[in-house]
Amino acid sequence: MTQTIEVMAPARRGWRQAPPGAGERYRFRRTDGPETWTVVLSGDRVLLETVPTGPADVEAAGSACDLALFLWGRLPATALRVTGDADLLPHWFTLVPPGLTTRAGGPGPGSSPG
C-alpha cells in the first residue's frame, strides 16, 4: 500500500496529467492489520500520512488485499466499508487515474488495435 501511494499514485498522476488536488483527504484503513494510510492530494502533490493527523473526508476500510485491489481499480468501492463523503471515493480515480494497463481481458501494454 505504501509503495502504491508514494510511488505509483504520483506516477499515475503524471502519466495522465490529472487535475490538481484541492486538499482532499482520503483514509485507507486496513481491517486485517494495524496500518492506516491518510493521503492528501494538494495541487500536484500526493502526501502520505502514516499516522493520521486530522479527520479524513472519506475513509475506506478493508483487508490489505481489498484496499490494494481498489487502488488499482480492480475492486469496486462497494466491497469496502466506506464512511464520510462516499461520493468522494470515486473521485480518487480522477485525481489518481488508472494505470496504463487495462482490466483483465482488455488490451495491455504493447498490444495494437485490430
pLDDT one-digit tens code per residue, 53-109: 789 999 999 999 999 999 988 999 999 999 999 999 999 999 999 865 544 433 333
Question: What's the Cα-to-Cα distance from 95 to each of 18, 20, 46, 47, 63, rounded to whole Å?
Answer: 5, 7, 10, 13, 23
pLDDT value of residue 110? 37
Q: What is the DSSP letter of 113?
A: -
* Residue 58, C-alpha cell as written in the block: 472519506
pTM for this predicted structure: 0.82
Average pLDDT of the chain is: 86
Biggest CA pair distance of the chain: 50
